[in-house]
A and B are shown apart, each in its own frame.
Chain A
Amino acid sequence: MNRKKLQKLTDTLTKNCKHFNKFEVNCLIRLYYNLVGDITERQGTVNGLDRNAFRNILHVTFGMTDDMIMDRVFRGFDKDNDGNVSVSEWVYGLSLFLRGTLEEKMKYCFEVFDLNGDGFISKEEMFHMLKNSLLKQPSEEDPDEGIKDLVEITLKKMDNDHDGKLSFSDYEQAVREETLLLEAFGPCLPDPKK
């Protein structure tokens, strides 16, 4: 890519990006094309970062391990649902991912956790997301009992309108009370320890 085109792209993206300055955007664009370049070399033509490449980045750079959550994060980035993260999706996504305000992050996380996209996190979705969160104890009769209980605990904690599922407002209220619940159903943001 020539310098002029890069410059132009940087300018456009910086204009709409809240949390990065021009220099950072520039770097991210370069990084993006480096990453895409690697894939192009391997697979021929490609119009962006595909699911696997992106998951790889999430895993290697941000230490994420949960497949399902990583898929959901990919969907969060891939706004147009074309199966690829474009350069603008990359920059905007990272802007929120790394520097987002609490509001932005809540919105993003809720979308990640709302697996079917119906605007609610249902018990089933919670169960699905939490099912690997407990050490299986062979002594227990029903191995899922602990998970179910955990779902109930979460619901009790977060479901303010008591309708048995989490709406965004339930979620928002709970997180504002206790920030730790932002990633209640699995790590979908960079780990703060880094």
Chain B
Amino acid sequence: MSIIGVDENLPVKEVHAIYPTIDPKQHYAAQTFRGKVVLITGASRGIGLESALQYARAGASLALASRKQATLDESKNLILKELPNAQVITFVADVKDVKHAEAAVKGTVAHFGKLDILLANAGKIRAMDKPFAEKDPVGWWDTLEVNIRGVYNFVHYAIPELVKTKGRVIITTSIAAQLRVPTASDYVISKFAVGRLAEFIAIEYPDVKVFTVHPGTVDTQMSAEAQAPFPPVDPPSLPAAVFLYLSSGKADYLNSRYVSATWDLAEVEKDWKEKIVAQNGLVSKLSIPA
């Protein structure tokens, strides 16, 4: 079955493993993120945890936010076991909860004095099994609450801090944002919408850089629950490395835009950067026929 939207993609080489341009080893060696404070939601497992590890290896101080203290403790211990000098704090937070978001951001700043990078990574997906009217309407909305509101809440409180540090927001999106996959309306719409939210962050807060990143198809607990018909072919180290790459300021021409971790980003810069900037590409637009 041909899914509408698969053509809404850059025709560049696909990658499924670390490659030189984004290799995090350069950041580990240079301690690129020493002195930087990174707050990650959905940090207790999957892409969030791998990202925390990579930022920590590159010198960053970490604030991990997730729903359960037990899993947060495991994640923190994992980081400290590898990097005994790493600075890591944790916050129990449900991203949908405005107060939790406020406490996590303010707590991060209270402890570390500032915030440089927000990785709004926590997400939710439902099983892709039935047309939407046959499923629970509350569950449909819950996907949007986690994936849109959950991102918004943390962005809302992070922004005043990020303006001070000329910081960055990275949002874990999905290629699903472009794909009209039947039975996945809630997930698709939520990721579609955060792409537009990113444009607004960039417009209203030009001192803050923002990127929405498709992480690839990664084998995580969340993707397993989704029973999605897409085999996981990308390791979590791939999106994590791309987050570091984008955080390092090497691709600010992608500010406010959709980026896929599975694109060869060297090729994107070499062959597409000029056109992307000139034509305001990699954002969604109403398609007006030629």
Q: Real complex partners, A and B?
A: no
Q: Residues of A with Cβ closer than 8 Å to B?
A: none
